Amino acid sequence: MKIGAVRGMRDILPEETPLWRHLEAEIRAAFRLYGYREIRTPLLETAELFSRGVGEATDVVHKEMYVFPDKKGLLLALRPEATASVVRAYLEHGLYAKGGLAKLYYFGPMFRYEKPQKGRSRQFHQYGVEALGSLDPALDAEVIDLASYLVERLGLPREGLFLRINSIGCRRDRDRYREALRDFFEPRQAELCSDCRRRLSENPMRILDCKHPTCQPAIQAAPRSTDSLCGECGAHFQEVLAQLERLGLPYELDHTLVRGLDYYTRTVFELASKDLGAQDALLGGGRYDELAEMLGGPPTPGVGFAGGMERLVLVLRERLELELGRELDVYLIPIGEAPEVKRTAAWILAQLRRAGLAADMEYLGRSLRKATQVAARLARYALYLGPDELARGEVKLKDLGTGAESAQAIGAFERPEMLKRMLARG
């Protein structure tokens, strides 16, 4: 093979697209039930949107983002995530001026320049929701309930799933918390790995994310973000948790959950699966009450989540052996090379399709036996047309389920309703 796909970019082959379509349909249906409407934003944005929104210092932006200048030298980026884009669109089109809550969902490819591995490629696909315009903790709970309903609806077994949740507070809380972490880890630098010693000055909250065993004792003993919450943020978090309990959604408080995007405030959560490898997060999200301002808009609170399609496919592929069914109604097999036969066959095909029947024809000149085998795999009916049939003005219709054959007048193909009745009878 001369030219292959770009590293980290995968083809989704016809074998797998039915599963993708199924998942997308279920996800859309769930989003609709919760009152979300679809938004589609460009794959390409100015790089600044993400460096300001997601954060210049985050891995996603400064290490993993595809950035390049366009022909005028403007720095563009392939979106590494969608929340910043959605908020940008919300501000740009003045959706806040329309009043009320904007509940939006999206679907589509995202790009991050990383080492591809299980459950992670450079182009990957996310689905997600964003609820913009309300501070109500009930909305945090609703978004989490939606995530939970979604995985239920998709048939993921509850045992393999766990919901982690935490609150990192508002900006002032986070500033205070960062100081508390610095004060705590500063004298314990010797207990930290080299990465974490660097994080100590750059972004001490990321130390909590570290999986390095040597860091664990210090991390366990570290102050918790929930202890730095102001009164409002503390009350908000308590109400979110109370709502989750009322909804019957089990969760585990994870004080080390801080997430890698700068825009998060207050509630952060993750739904993870034990069936995935190192990349176990199925979906993740939280609140981002300051993002709109960071992008130059009016203060607009928001909460949402994003999930990875590839990871859903990984977890569901075996479990969801879809009854694909045969995708064709009719497979037409012309017999011999006579031009008049082939022309009539082509005409019949066209009529079938216009009558709304999925139909295809044997184009490879395979033996009748082989062609019939292929027909049986693809279609419910086989249609045979050879010189004999043509001379009689007929075709042979074979029900590939029962094996029953009957002769049908070619003229019948001029009337779609006749066709449908013919095939419905079987």
Q: Which residues of this chain interact with RNA, rule CB under 7 A?
A: 4-5, 7-8, 58-60, 64, 81, 112, 114-121, 124, 126, 195, 206, 209-212, 259-261, 270, 277-284, 306-308, 310-311, 335, 364, 366-370, 372-374, 376, 382, 384, 386-389, 396, 398, 400-403, 405
Q: Are 156 and 316 in contact (CB under 8 A)?
A: yes
Q: Are 408 and 397 in contact (CB under 8 A)?
A: yes
**Shortest distance in whole angstroms from residue 347 CB to RNA:** 18
End-to-end CA, the chain: 45
C-alpha distances in Å from residue 39, one per residue of 52, 130, 294: 22, 10, 21
Compare residues 238 and 342 and give the one whose CB is closer to RNA: 342
Q: What is the C-alpha to C-alpha distance for residues 174 and 140, in angstroms, rounded to an integer?
A: 19
SS3 for 40?
Answer: coil
Compare residues 96 and 184 and give the one whose CB is closer to RNA: 184
**Shortest distance in whole angstroms from residue 292 CB to RNA:** 18
Q: Are 104 and 82 in contact (CB under 8 A)?
A: no
Q: What is the C-alpha to C-alpha distance for residues 351 and 109, in angstroms, rounded to an integer?
A: 38
**Shortest distance in whole angstroms from residue 65 CB to RNA:** 11
Helix runs in 7-122, H state only: 17-33, 47-50, 59-62, 83-92
Helix runs in 154-300, H state only: 171-185, 194-202, 216-221, 231-247, 291-294
The DSSP symbol for 295 reads T
Compare residues 9 and 239 and give the one whose CB is closer to RNA: 9
**Shortest distance in whole angstroms from residue 20 CB to RNA:** 14
Q: What is the C-alpha to C-alpha distance for residues 191 and 214, in angstroms, rounded to an integer?
A: 7
**Shortest distance in whole angstroms from residue 97 CB to RNA:** 29
Compare residues 108 and 416 and give the one whose CB is closer to RNA: 108
Helix runs in 379-415, H state only: 387-392
Q: What is the C-alpha to C-alpha distance for residues 273 and 145, in angstroms, rounded to an integer?
A: 17
Radius of gyration of the chain (CA): 29
Compare residues 175 and 405 and give the one whose CB is closer to RNA: 405
Compare residues 58 and 243 and give the one whose CB is closer to RNA: 58
Q: What is the C-alpha to C-alpha distance for residues 303 and 393, in angstroms, rounded to an integer?
A: 67
**Shortest distance in whole angstroms from residue 279 CB to RNA:** 4
**Shortest distance in whole angstroms from residue 5 CB to RNA:** 7
Q: What is the C-alpha to C-alpha distance for residues 26 and 29, in angstroms, rounded to an integer?
A: 5
Give the residue carrying structure tokens 């399609």: 309
Q: What is the C-alpha to C-alpha distance for residues 188 and 205, in angstroms, rounded to an integer?
A: 15
Do the bridges between strand 328-334 and strand 281-287 make them parallel or antiparallel, or are there none, so unpaired? unpaired
Compare residues 47 and 61 and give the one whose CB is closer to RNA: 61
**Shortest distance in whole angstroms from residue 379 CB to RNA:** 9
Compare residues 24 and 59 and give the one whose CB is closer to RNA: 59
**Shortest distance in whole angstroms from residue 179 CB to RNA:** 20
**Shortest distance in whole angstroms from residue 44 CB to RNA:** 18
And the tokens for 103? 């509940």
Q: Are 49 and 84 in contact (CB under 8 A)?
A: yes
Q: Are 258 and 222 in contact (CB under 8 A)?
A: no
Compare residues 270 and 290 and give the one whose CB is closer to RNA: 270
Compare residues 102 and 196 and give the one whose CB is closer to RNA: 196
